[in-house]
Structure 1
Amino acid sequence: MKGVYVVLNYPDKDTFYEVIKFLLDYDGIDFIEIGYPFNDPVADGAVIMDAVNKVYDKVTYNDLISILKLINKSKKTYVMTYANIVFSYGISTFSKEFNSLIDGLIIADLPNRLHDFFYRNGLEIDIIPFLTPTSRVNDISYINELKGDFVYYVGTKGTTGVMGDLDFNKGKVKEIKKIINKKLIYGFGIKTKEDIKNVMSFADGVVVGTEIVKRQGDIEKLKDFIKNTF
């Protein structure tokens, strides 16, 4: 599986619609991760943080609903956001509004062991769990008790856009895959076609974020990058 991360409505609503339409038509992209901007992000590198800062006070939930209806689950679609966004909206209300529109929810600042709090309070959307290069065996095993159709492996201890030690991560991912019962999607630091090829040799998929967001403001540059990379 190959996916991309995009920031909702960056650089503006019209351009973002064009980005989404292109992604929907492009066969080399299997899933779309839409980031709902938040003013206190976790692990975002400079490129994504800059994009978020430019639009976070301009986007609305209705903007997100409109774009999800445009996608209409024609490709797997995940929303990446933060616990406070879902909580302040109303967990049960958020679930009712978005359950039929997305395949999963990525909550960047929510530890795996707190997923149950959201489920107990009315969330019926699967939350995607995270693992990292420093995850312990107990943390890895716990993944099998969680929902979500894949595990998001954060391939660096740093921020988005930075590639971690690929040799170390290859060994770590092989260790993880012996334990978990889900697909493993590798994220953070994927920049080139060669990066994708290398990661796909040991993971079940990749997601490219920074290099996509970097080009969201110029649809032609984005198209060229995707055609030459995916």
Structure 2
Amino acid sequence: MAFDPDTGEPAALLDGRAITAARTGACSALSARLLAREDATVLAVLGTGVQARSHARAICRVRPIREIRIAGRDPAKAAVLAEELSAALEGDVRAVSSYAEALDGADIAAATTHAVEPVIRRSWLTPGVHITSVGYNPAGREVDDATVIEALVCVESRQAVLAPFPAGSNDLLMPIRGGLITADHVHAELGELIAGHRAGRTTPDQITLYKSVGVAAQDAAATALVLASAREQSIGEEITLR
């Protein structure tokens, strides 16, 4: 539900799942635009759900992706997603049998899982890869310690990602609790990269990691864009509340 910020009146009822998927994929694509190598052509998509779909579509808008590899717990779902994306995106889209196979040689990796054990492992990564990790499971994490330690880590919000369990990110909180890194290991927020207050990638072989936990301001901004577009195009049904 969206409300008019001036009056508090209900302004629209929207499908929040679609908006969350779009804005999450868009922020990951922004991280790729800011941090991935310019010549990145191979994308690994880990997961087969709504976020996997939105990430594949969004990241292809910011880098010249020519190959997409999809891996998930269910090979049948990975095959269905590969067929769906093949019809919508250019390049070679195919399902592979494992996360390791998807990551081998990938320039960008989009982790969109509910994994307990890491699906991003340092030994599976190619130098120079950019990783986006948006999955969440209170019992586990998507990215292993070795990757976090080595990577240039960027986030939406330090406050959000480092919030006490269960609100923050286990991917960062676990190695912090283990004494492997400190909170200062978070290099930058996306806003700091955009504003030029912090530098992004410095070498072609550098591993970069964007960890997302989602912040409400992004949902509000995305909703405002959807409402503005709907009004311009006269989309939707007007309802009078009595």
TM-score by length of 1: 0.32
Structure number, greater radius of gyration: 2
The answer to which structure has the higher helix fraction is 1
